[in-house]
Amino acid sequence: MRIDIGNCMDTVASPGISSESLDSLAIQVSEIHMDIGPKITNNTFGYAALNPPSPEEMKQLFTISDSFFNFSNVLTIGIGGSALGSKTLSTALGISGHHVLDNVDPFANLDVLNNLDLSDTVVNVVSLSGTTIETISNFLIVRDIMEKQNIDWTSQTFVTTASKGYLSDLSDKYSLPIVPFPESIPGRFSALSTVSLAPLLILGGDVEEIIKGARSGLESLSRSLHNSPGYAYGALTTELFNLGITSNSIMPYSERLETFTEWFAQLWSESLGKDGTGQIPLRAMGATDQHSQLQLYRAGKRNLMVTFLDVIDHKTKLTIPPPDFNTFDYLSNLNMDDLLRTELKTTEASLADVGCPSVKIELTEIDSFQLGQLLHGCMASCIISAELQGINGFDQPAVEWGKTALKDILTGKSSSESSSTQNKNSHWIEK
Amino acid sequence: MRIDIGNCMDTVASPGISSESLDSLAIQVSEIHMDIGPKITNNTFGYAALNPPSPEEMKQLFTISDSFFNFSNVLTIGIGGSALGSKTLSTALGISGHHVLDNVDPFANLDVLNNLDLSDTVVNVVSLSGTTIETISNFLIVRDIMEKQNIDWTSQTFVTTASKGYLSDLSDKYSLPIVPFPESIPGRFSALSTVSLAPLLILGGDVEEIIKGARSGLESLSRSLHNSPGYAYGALTTELFNLGITSNSIMPYSERLETFTEWFAQLWSESLGKDGTGQIPLRAMGATDQHSQLQLYRAGKRNLMVTFLDVIDHKTKLTIPPPDFNTFDYLSNLNMDDLLRTELKTTEASLADVGCPSVKIELTEIDSFQLGQLLHGCMASCIISAELQGINGFDQPAVEWGKTALKDILTGKSSSESSSTQNKNSHWIEK
């Protein structure tokens, strides 16, 4: 993995990063690294996410995955950070058999469950707190269906949680294996921890290579921004944000990275969206969104940057056969890989042409190693960005209000939150 | 369909719409309606999109769809507005058998094609110009596969295009049926035209009800903003944009509306993103993104609004069975519909609590009629917003630069665009 920052420098972009700013950022990154390096090493809360799982954690994981080796599917029940890490990895790597319930949409959930052979499925219930309403609800529904199908759910279910709570009690009652949710890692930073690796391991994913990629990311973190793609990306996006680039469109040229954009959006939003600040992550997809978003990116307000993800080799060759009429002779025998990469190049140039800043992340291919590097680099970026802005990147205080309101309504408790939901301000417009 | 604007008024939100602004907007909408009403009636370019297809167009469509009545699948090959309309409708209505190739990603495309019985599939090639590189490329690949499988592709392919171009020539050569792309409707406004309805009709969708919904939307357009949900939404989002609300997160509480958010994002971006202006559409999903985006929405810069889509009845009952421990007794026998709607209510209140503006669009259920209303209302919103801002909502000049660059590179033509793509500004960061 490497990143090209040329198109966000002020020689191209406006606003863009000046060479003086880059020097200043390099000094700040160096100082921050001196501060957080030991925090990473000491597994301090949050920073611990940059460490690959320990050999002990992996040993425990292997024991659990071995016991489920003969199942074809894993159903992960979680929401937010409890689901997005494993979903991102399995989607990007094309690992089939990983299914996810990460919403409480009855139509969508039944669609998943009706198309899944639950007798051949390991159920993976994930909640850091062990008390997430959506996750407990979905688990209860899945268990009920399994019981009705005479499936011994207790023999094919494991939970991923911290030490206390409903899931832990459930594990005690039914002797379900537990993958401990590392208590020093916030949910959205758990993509390279045992939390996300468990389903992949059961389904035969190359977890060792993902961890090697994460370790390579860890080794790339240094006092020099110029040798640390993760730090560089975080520092530059923060500086661009300070220059008025309030949105960042994540635009991979690979459908396999679609879930990655959701994961990135969560990481960015929950970590950096606080204290009246925070760059807004957008999700886009190349080349499709050239026919959807590009008009706005090029011609709208200059308050947006684009992060391209360029995959050199898609490892699937599709060659375009000759067309009927000579107007399209130039398509004949073109590789679709090459077409897709040329589309990226032209879009990148199209934005540079009008001074819209962009950064390009390049992967030679989407394999386990580079995916480990990519996710690690994004987490390091996010952490350095929070440090540069002096905000706590590891909490999410603003989601508590809604959680309290939800619980209070469901339990019938009167509180300022629950009574606020009786919207007295409604102003309906209808014909 | 009705919309609640209470939470974007300045009695709740900051910035928010004052009652004086609302009065002023109502007057402007009234004047604009007097101006564009005749343009709609006369099928003037762009405005024509607000008219349902004519009986003649529908007759032609029925003839084509009848000839394909015995196929189980339709494969739509298009990109941008040529694919998003039909994809939005079929996904929302749960119409199975509609498959879409709307990218030139070799991995993703082969995944679709390898899981599709092409002998039982109608191929629908859609391009307004008939010269879209991605669409022609995908068509050539699909045809090649069909020929290799000894399928007479000519007997199960139709094209949707304007009068001239590659697809029209192809139709002449192989006697393929043509659905005429209405020349007065820009691609991204074609969701309720024959372009998008064709695949649904073949697959048994209730096209008549969609059209009835569109007609109901048309009838709701009046001089009074207070009786026109579409105009009201467009006017209010424009006013909020002028007050600094530069982003608009579209957040349905239904997975079936996920593609709708892509469609909306295209409509908004390509129509309004020009002349240095344009509100940035974000795509979100409730309840999942409460665990992902909500932190940013509530605690970030006050430059964002949320558009909720509330579905009262999901028409799929899932009841949560009793939990093991009494901490979660309150979930017992709860309908998932009710849980999902309560989540929406609490999130809406959570944003109102901090003055973040939101609008709620309410559907009693996701059926053909209300979907027709919804898409019609969004297009009317977009048109009124462009009028209020004095911009041309129907062109997309900024995408041409990249298209020219792409074609010039592929044909080996030297031009200022193609030479710009030889990025001389690269500045790589790697370990």
Sheet holding A178-180, edge to edge: A98-101, A73-77, A121-127, A157-161, A178-180
Task: Give the gap in angstroms from C-alpha A59 to the nearest C-alpha of chain B.
Answer: 30
| Extents of the domains making up chain A | 2-36+211-389, 48-205
Q: Do B398 and A295 touch (CB under 8 A)?
A: yes
Q: Do B318 and A110 touch (CB under 8 A)?
A: yes
Domain pair A2-36+211-389 / A48-205, same fold? yes
Average pLDDT over residues B175-189: 95
Query: Does A353 contact B at CB distance below 8 Å?
Result: yes
Average pLDDT over residues B23-40: 97
Distance, in Å, from the CA atom of B224 to the CA atom of B217, rounded to the nearest integer, reads 14
Confidence of residue B431 (pLDDT cuts 50, 70, 90): confident
Q: How far out from the chain centre does Cα B347 lie?
A: 24
Q: Do B4 and A428 touch (CB under 8 A)?
A: yes
Average pLDDT over residues B253-260: 98
- Percent of chain A exceeding pLDDT 90 equals 95
Task: Give the gap in angstroms from C-alpha B8 to the nearest C-alpha of chain A.
Answer: 10
pLDDT exceeds cutoff 90 at B172? yes
Which tens digit of pLDDT belongs to each residue from A141-154? 999 999 999 999 99
Task: Give the gap in angstroms from C-alpha A335 to the nearest C-alpha of chain B.
Answer: 9
Omega of the bond prior to A52 within 30 degrees of 0, cis? no
- State the pLDDT at residue A146: 98
Q: What stretch of H or E contains A35?
A: helix A19-41
- More reliable by pLDDT, B403 or A164: B403
- State the pLDDT at residue A326: 87
- State the pLDDT at residue B422: 83
Catalytic residue flag (residue A99):
no
| Chain A residues 32-71 with a CB less than 8 Å from chain B | none
Catalytic residue among A270, A348, A387, A417: A270
Give CATH superfamily name and number for B2-36+211-389.
Glucose-6-phosphate isomerase like protein; domain 1 (3.40.50.10490)
Which tens digit of pLDDT belongs to each residue from B8-20? 999 999 999 999 9
- Percent of chain B exceeding pLDDT 70 equals 100
Which tens digit of pLDDT belongs to each residue from A331-351? 999 999 999 999 999 999 999
Catalytic residue among B39, B212, B345, B403: B403
Contacts of A328 in chain B (CB under 8 A): 133, 136, 166
Catalytic residue flag (residue A403):
yes
Q: Which residues pair with A123 in a beta bridge?
A: A75, A157
Query: Does A269 contact B at CB distance below 8 Å?
Result: yes
Residues of chain A predicted below pLDDT 70: 423
Task: Give the gap in angstroms from C-alpha B59 to the nearest C-alpha of chain A.
Answer: 30
- State the pLDDT at residue B170: 95
Q: Which of A12, A277, A292 sits opposite B266 (nearest CB)?
A: A292
Name the average pLDDT for chain B: 96
Catalytic residue among B291, B317, B427, B431: B291
Query: Does A170 contact B at CB distance below 8 Å?
Result: yes
pLDDT exceeds cutoff 80 at B423? no
The 3-class secondary structure across A48-64, one letter per residue, is: HHHCCCCHHHHHHHHHH
Distance, in Å, from the CA atom of B282 to the CA atom of B250, rounded to the nearest integer, reads 6
Contacts of B77 in chain A (CB under 8 A): none
Catalytic residue among B270, B348, B387, B417: B270
What chain A residue is nearest to B365 in terms of C-alpha separation? A107
Q: Do A143 and B321 touch (CB under 8 A)?
A: yes
Task: Give the gap in angstroms from C-alpha B329 to the nearest C-alpha of chain A.
Answer: 9
Question: What phi, psi does A339 have (nearest 5°)?
Answer: -60, -45
Which tens digit of pLDDT belongs to each residue from A90-100? 999 999 999 99
Query: Does B141 contact A at CB distance below 8 Å?
Result: yes
Contacts of B304 in chain A (CB under 8 A): 280
Omega of the bond prior to A182 within 30 degrees of 0, cis? no
> Nearest 5 degrees, angle CA B114-CA B117-CA B122?
115
Q: Do B79 and A396 touch (CB under 8 A)?
A: no
Q: Do B109 and A336 touch (CB under 8 A)?
A: yes
- Percent of chain A exceeding pLDDT 70 equals 100
Q: Do B327 and A131 touch (CB under 8 A)?
A: yes
Q: What is the ipTM of this complex?
A: 0.97
Confidence of residue B163 (pLDDT cuts 50, 70, 90): confident
Which tens digit of pLDDT belongs to each residue from B342-386? 999 999 999 999 999 999 999 999 999 999 999 999 999 999 999
Q: Do A108 and B255 touch (CB under 8 A)?
A: yes
Q: Do A107 and B314 touch (CB under 8 A)?
A: yes
Q: Which of A295, A314, A426 sits opposite B399 (nearest CB)?
A: A295
Confidence of residue B276 (pLDDT cuts 50, 70, 90): very high
Distance, in Å, from the CA atom of A105 to the CA atom of A219, rounded to the nearest integer, reads 42
Contacts of B291 in chain A (CB under 8 A): 79-81, 266, 399
Distance, in Å, from the CA atom of A178 to the CA atom of A176, rounded to the nearest integer, reads 6
Query: Does A297 contact B at CB distance below 8 Å?
Result: yes
pLDDT exceeds cutoff 80 at B424? no
- Say which residue the tokens 């094209």 belong to: B159
| Spatial CA neighbour of B320 closest among A122, A211, A140, A150 | A140
Task: Give the gap in angstroms from C-alpha B63 to the nearest C-alpha of chain A.
Answer: 27
- State the pLDDT at residue A431: 84
Catalytic residue flag (residue A270):
yes
- State the pLDDT at residue A215: 97
Task: Give the gap in angstroms from C-alpha B66 to the nearest C-alpha of chain A.
Answer: 28
pLDDT exceeds cutoff 80 at B52? yes
Which tens digit of pLDDT belongs to each residue from A30-42? 999 999 999 999 9
Catalytic residue among A148, A291, A317, A427: A291
- Percent of chain B exceeding pLDDT 90 equals 95
Phi-psi region of B250 (alpha: psi -120 to 50; beta: other; left: phi over 0): beta
> How crowded is residue B413: how many other Cβ atoms within 10 Å of its Cβ?
12
- State the pLDDT at residue B164: 84
What chain B residue is nearest to A337 in terms of C-alpha separation? B106
The 3-class secondary structure across chain B, one letter per residue, is: CEEECHHHECCCCCCCECHHHHHHHHHHHHHHHHHHHHHHHCCCCCHHHHCCCCHHHHHHHHHHHHHCCCCCEEEEECCCHHHHHHHHHHHHHCCCCEEEECCCCHHHHHHHHHCCCHHHEEEEEECCCCCCHHHHHHHHHHHHHHHHCCCCHHHHEEEEECCCCHHHHHHHHHCCCEEECCCCCCHHHCCCCHHHHHHHHHCCCCHHHHHHHHHHHHHHCCCCHHHCHHHHHHHHHHHHHHCCCCEEEEEECCHHHHHHHHHHHHHHHHHHCCCCCCCEEEECCCCHHHHCCHHHHHHCCCCEEEEEEEECCCCCCCECCCCCCHHHHHHCCCEHHHHHHHHHHHHHHHHHHCCCCEEEEEECCCCHHHHHHHHHHHHHHHHHHHHHHCCCCCCCHHHHHHHHHHHHHHHCCCCHHHHHCCCCCCCEECC
| Chain B residues 212-251 with a CB less than 8 Å from chain A | 216, 219-220, 225-229, 232, 246-247
Query: Does A421 contact B at CB distance below 8 Å?
Result: yes
Task: Give the gap in angstroms from C-alpha A51 to the nearest C-alpha of chain B.
Answer: 18
Q: Which of A106, A256, A321 sits opposite B314 (nearest CB)?
A: A106
Domain spanning A48-205: which CATH class is it, in words?
alpha beta
Largest CA distance in chain B: 73
Q: Do B349 and A420 touch (CB under 8 A)?
A: yes
